[in-house]
């Protein structure tokens, strides 16, 4: 394909993915969290011949502690974001090479 053709290389905007998240209760206040998200590349919906954004799977695990008003999560993951767009489309870290990130979340629990 000639280099002056439209859509030869660039970023894919149509990405499908399959993800699984598990939460194991260790006690009434603590849980172990495991997550895995796999982007699915389908050649027929690709915008480009060569894509500039790699689709790498996300793997992570964490520990959650809950109180009556808050939930605290400490986790290790390969994704650099928490929204699906970051997890499926912008993850450039490979967990098989040990490229992990550390994170911390605090959630306020409301009881109405």
Report the pLDDT value the prediction gives residue 45, as an integer from 0 to 100: 75
Bridge partner residues of 58 (DSSP): 37
**CA distance linking residue 19 with residue 72, whole number of Å:** 22
Task: Please state the domain extents for the chain.
Answer: 9-108
Burial of 34 (0-12, 13-18, 19+ CB in 10 A): middle
DSSP string, 72-91: EEEEEES-S-SSHHHHHHS-
- pLDDT by residue (tens digit) across 25-76? 999 999 999 999 998 877 777 777 777 766 789 999 999 999 989 999 999 9
Q: Please tell me the pTM assigned to this model.
A: 0.73
- For 60, counting Cβ atoms within 10 Å of its Cβ (0-12 exposed, 13-18 middle, 19+ buried), the class is buried
| Phi/psi-derived region of residue 102, left when phi > 0, alpha when psi is between -120 and 50, beta in every other case | beta
């Amino acid at each position: 394909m000639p280099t002056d053709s439209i859509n030869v290389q660039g970023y894919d905007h149509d990405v499908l993915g399959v993800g699984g998240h598990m939460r194991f209760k260790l006690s009434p206040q603590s849980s172990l969290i495991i997550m895995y998200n796999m982007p699915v590349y389908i050649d027929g919906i690709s915008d480009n011949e060569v894509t500039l954004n790699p689709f790498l799977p996300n793997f992570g695990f964490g520990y959650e502690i809950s109180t009556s008003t808050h939930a605290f999560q400490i986790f290790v993951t390969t994704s650099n974001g928490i929204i699906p767009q970051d997890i499926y489309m912008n993850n450039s870290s490979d967990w098989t090479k040990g490229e992990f990130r550390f994170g911390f979340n605090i959630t306020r629990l409301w009881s109405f």
